[in-house]
Amino acid sequence: MTGMYTVQLGHGLGLIEETPILLDLWQEGMGSADLYCEALESGRFPTMTARRLKNLIDSGFAPRYLSNGSAPAILLKQLRQILSKKEFDQLLFLYTCRTHAILADFVKEIYWPAYSGGKQTLTNHQARDFAAAAVRDGKTTTAWSDATVRRAGGYLTGCLADFSLLEAGVKGARKILAYRIEPRVAAILAYELHFDGFGDNGVVSHPEWALFGMESEDVVAELKRLAMRGFFIVQSAGSAIRIGWNHKSMEELVDVLAQG
């Protein structure tokens, strides 16, 4: 979730409808060019021009799901029939935030403070102000024009609407919706961080939990609830935490999730 801000998020926003189709078509070893050819020949995007489909895959799908040796696509393909739509969409939200620093920071700096402060709506004007401040602070890859700033603001609120953090529909002010991490998504995120090499305290304090409005104590409480379902063994005393990881690989975790 680090890096310069771009407007690449505009290529499909949440990609909620397109991602499951593209995952169905994608096979391990495929790059974006191979996937484009497969998608074009499949006839599953009948209303989309070839140019738009290529942009969607190259700038939308591939950076999110074909990075890191396509690990995100491999995992999502395994989980596609196991998770509920709500759970699956939360993972798409997580991977999109990992790819687009502007979205991750907007969620943490603007959305959750508004949510916890009891605000009812979040506006495109707030999103534009956030984008404009990013330009002034040198966080963008280039100096954005006013028009680009406006578009970036719309991308942010539109993407959060796709992921059900905000009310859907084209409007200047969108209602803030109740949003909470699903338990099995929390288990997947914890195991991903663990297998990425974070220690137990590093897992609990990792900044990605803030995407779901969670602080370290919230994470500990969630992991303790998951421990009752057999995902972990959790021992905590003060600020120290020790986690017994009951599953030794993501494949093993996926097998357990598949068994319900």
- The last residue of a domain, from among 175, 201, 219: 175
- What are the tens digits of pLDDT across the range 193-208? 999 999 999 999 999 9
Q: DSSP 3-state assignment of 242? A: strand
- The last residue of a domain, from among 146, 175, 204: 175
Same domain, 48 and 106: no
pLDDT at residue 1, as a whole number: 43
Overall average pLDDT of the 243-248 stretch: 95
Predicted confidence (pLDDT) at residue 172 exceeds the cutoff of 90: no
Closest CA to 214 of 192, 194, 189: 189
Residue 88 lies in a domain: no
Residue 31 lies in a domain: yes
Same domain, 190 and 246: yes
pLDDT at residue 12, as a whole number: 83
pLDDT at residue 123, as a whole number: 93
Percent of the chain with pLDDT over 90: 91
- What are the tens digits of pLDDT across the range 233-243? 999 887 789 99
Q: State the Cα–Cα distance between residues 100 and 12, nearest whole angstrom.
A: 13
Residue 25 lies in a domain: yes
Question: Which one is predicted more confidently, 260 or 167?
Answer: 167
* Average pLDDT of the residues of the chain: 94
- The last residue of a domain, from among 117, 152, 175: 175
pLDDT at residue 11, as a whole number: 86
- What are the tens digits of pLDDT across the range 53-100? 999 999 999 999 999 999 999 999 999 999 999 999 999 999 999 999
Predicted confidence (pLDDT) at residue 189 exceeds the cutoff of 60: yes
Residue 92 lies in a domain: no
Overall average pLDDT of the 18-23 stretch: 96
Overall average pLDDT of the 3-12 stretch: 88
Residue 158 lies in a domain: yes
- What are the tens digits of pLDDT across the range 43-53? 999 999 999 99
Predicted confidence (pLDDT) at residue 141 exceeds the cutoff of 90: no
Quote the domain boundaries for residue 68. 8-82
Q: State the Cα–Cα distance between residues 224 and 36, nearest whole angstrom.
A: 43
Same domain, 231 and 208: yes
Residue 94 lies in a domain: no
CA distances from 111 to 33, 117, 149, 240, 253 (A): 35, 10, 18, 30, 31
Residue 16 lies in a domain: yes
CATH number of the domain to which 208 belongs: 1.10.10
Angle at 257 between CA 256 and CA 258, to 5 degrees: 90
Overall average pLDDT of the 251-258 stretch: 95
Q: State the Cα–Cα distance between residues 46 and 188, nearest whole angstrom.
A: 34
* Total domains in the fold of the chain: 3
Percent of the chain with pLDDT over 70: 99
Residue 73 lies in a domain: yes
Same domain, 163 and 192: no
